[in-house]
Chain A
Amino acid sequence: MAATITIEPKMHKQPTAVDEKRETILQTEDLSIYYGDNQAVKHANLDIEKHAITALIGPSGCGKSTFLRSINRMNDLIPVSWNEGKIMYEGVDILSKNINTIALRKEIGMVFQKPNPFPKSVYNNITHALRFYGNRKKKQLDEIVEESLRKAALWDEIKDRLHDSALSLSGGQQQRLCIARTLAMEPNVLLLDEPSSALDPISNAKIEELILQLKEDYSIVIVTHNMQQASRISDKTAFFLNGSVIEYGETEKIFTNPDQEKTEDYISGRFG
């Protein structure tokens, strides 16, 4: 784990209710993200807390996934995307040109909406990235595979099927395998892009339980369309609308007594 750097509290342009006593791990400063001429995220200022779960909610196309994908530079894969502003992580602006995105993505892991295991064995799915980083000792790899699968609450279910194809697992198991694969890299931050929206309710419950457990060791940012999910598991919630952060604060407050009318409308299901 990398050392943490406490950042001085910053002035915010938007009315955000940030509890400044808690440690932050990521700060976005006036972050705008564009696809060509289209501005997908507008001047976002968010402080993401350490060892907490931050939920990003909002209607489809509000920019929350774009925001999430910018944190580990996955937007770089989209040729027309560009950005303004900063994302500070451990005192470094990770949007700057000379950032090593490979090393960054190792520290800030990401799990996608659709389970996307590699068409390889369960074992090789986890060791794929470890081998790339030069870890080739069988014994050590075995240990990491077991440890990651245990962390992802998957070990007991599939310990006898490590050398079967990952595609033979159920959707929920595949998604937990994807989480295990990311955990094996020992990231500091976990970005989850609607991780359980493609799954059945039981798998969904398992993933939620898992996310709550992971909070102990990781800082988690989760995009979700499921309002109940956000209120059940998150500590902080940010409400996005048309690319802007409308409101950001303690989840309890956002869901019971939001400051903004739009937030209340969205949460009570009046639009979106």
Chain B
Amino acid sequence: MNSKVADRIATGVFVTIAFIIVAILAALFSFILFRGVPQISWEFLTTPSSSVQAGGGIRDQLFNSFYILFITMLITVPLGVCGGIYMAEYAKPGKVTNFIRSCIEMLASLPSIVVGMFGLLVFVNTTGWGYTIIGGALALTIFNIPVMVRVSEDAIRSVPAEMKEASLALGITHWHTIKTVLIPSAFPGILTGSILASGRVFGEAAALLFTAGLSTPRLDYLDLNPFSETSPLNIFRPAETLAVHIWAVNTNGIMPDIREIANGSSAVLVLSVLIFNLLARWLGSVVHKKITASK
């Protein structure tokens, strides 16, 4: 077999693999959307769920998903970026740094159900909060911090060393250089990491089962006082997210329209992730253009 034939075979193999991946993705997507989209209606999105009767919606679950995502990212992104800065700029190569890195990698490979059990132990029982949004968000933070640290570290390391030298040679401090040169240059990478982490948060069920709970209290969306019991913004209330709702309806739902609800919820979940990604990327490119003055 000559090298030209081998080259053709390699090309063929990779094109086939790419095709299979795209086909699986397209099939999955169209299946979910085909089954789910007909169930989506304004009513489905705006009525609270019902545990017995048919015709329940997913209003609260949808809100909870986005709210938990928001709270989680509010904690995860700053912590993760700071961790990344430490690993990329301050940690001296050696045993301690290697140990920290192993810990991060170990944390990244924890099964989410284990993180959920840990959350139950610490954020639910030890703190005495019960099932809460903040407990769920903290569990998800544990789950996502390793990815965030890793991605931020890589993004900061990939900024050319000349940029850092240029800034330091002008008589600027290390911290100011990090703040005004490294982080803006690493921004696209950090953003991609945040979007990946968000996707995981949005779709996560196991870690939330025992931390944010399987129920949502009756909510009054006009009540914006975050300390009020019925306010959707209260972080010390239990909150069932969309992913958890899909699981719960499928495993122990007793309403007659289980199929419809599960299908509709799945489609909403997939579409939400999609819309969220597109929005985040668009916003990110606007911000990036503004900092770099590029067109």
Nearest neighbor of B164 in chain A, beta-carbon distance:
A77
The residues of A that contact B292 with a CB separation of less than 8 Å are: 119-120, 165, 167
Is there contact, CB below 8 Å, between A182 and B170?
A: yes
| SS of B interface (majority) | helix
Nearest CB in chain B: distance from A175 CB, A = 12
Q: Report which of B163, B168, B169, B176 forms a contact with A118, defined as CB distance below 8 A.
A: B163
Q: Which of B93, B170, B293 is the one whose CB lies under 8 Å from A105?
A: B170
B292 to chain A, nearest CB (A): 5
Q: Are B185 and A132 in contact (CB under 8 A)?
A: no
- Asked whether A129 is an interface residue with its Cβ less than 8 Å from the other chain, the reply is yes
Per the bound structure, the CA–CA distance linking A163 and B165 in Å amounts to 23
Would you call B166 an interface residue if the criterion is a C-beta within 8 Å of the partner chain's C-beta atoms? yes
Contact of A116 with B166 in the complex, beta carbons under 8 Å: yes
Please measure, in the bound complex, the distance between the C-alpha atom of A133 and the C-alpha atom of B176, giving whole angstroms.
11
Which chain A residues lie closer than 8 Å to B22 at the CB level? none
**Bound state CA distance, A17 and B162, in angstroms?**
36
CB distance from B41 to the nearest CB of A (A): 47
- Please give the distance in Å from A205's CB to the nearest CB on chain B: 24
Cβ of A181 < 8 Å from any Cβ of B? yes
In the assembled complex, the CB of A111 is this many whole angstroms from the nearest CB of chain B, namely 8
Are B167 and A128 closer than 8 Å at their CB atoms?
yes
B117 at the interface (CB under 8 A from A): no
Q: In the complex, what residues of B have CB within 8 A of residue A16's CB?
A: none
Give, as a whole number of angstroms, the nearest-CB distance from A134 to chain B. Answer: 12
A72 within 8 Å of B (CB atoms) = yes
- Bound Cα distance A105, B177 (Å): 14
A-side contacts of B158, CB under 8 Å: none
Indicate if A225 sits at the interface (CB-CB under 8 A): no
- Number of contact residues on B: which range applies? 20 to 34
Say yes or no: is B294 at the interface (Cβ < 8 Å to chain A): yes
- Contact partner of B92 among A77, A79, A165, CB < 8 A? A79
The answer to whether B166 and A124 have CB atoms under 8 Å apart is no
Residues in A whose Cβ lies below 8 Å from that of B166? 112, 116-118, 178, 181
Which residue of chain A has its CB nearest to the CB of B289?
Answer: A165
In the complex, are the beta carbons of B293 and A109 less than 8 A apart? no
> A74 contacts B168, CB within 8 Å?
yes
Q: List 29 A-B contacts (CB under 8 A).
A: A72-B169, A77-B165, A77-B168, A102-B171, A105-B168, A105-B169, A105-B170, A107-B171, A109-B170, A109-B171, A112-B169, A117-B166, A118-B163, A119-B292, A119-B294, A120-B291, A128-B172, A128-B180, A128-B181, A132-B172, A132-B176, A165-B292, A165-B294, A166-B293, A168-B294, A178-B166, A181-B166, A182-B170, A185-B170
Q: Which residues of B sit under 8 angstroms from A103, Cβ to Cβ?
A: 171
Q: Check A121–B169 contact: CB distance below 8 A.
A: no
Task: State the Cβ distance, B43 to closest chain A Cβ, in Å.
Answer: 49
A118 lies within 8 A of B165 (CB): no
Q: Which residues of A contact B184 (CB under 8 A)?
A: 119-120
B:126-167 near A, CB below 8 Å? 160, 162-167
CB within 8 A of B171: which of A106, A121, A124? A106
- Within 8 Å by CB of B165, from A79, A109, A112, A181, lies A112
CA–CA, A168 and B167, complex, Å: 19
Tell yes or no: B173 within 8 A of A by CB. Answer: yes
Closest to A163 in B: B293
Give the top 10 A-B pairs by smallest Cβ distance, nearest first. Answer: A106-B171, A121-B293, A116-B162, A129-B170, A105-B171, A110-B169, A116-B166, A165-B293, A165-B294, A119-B292
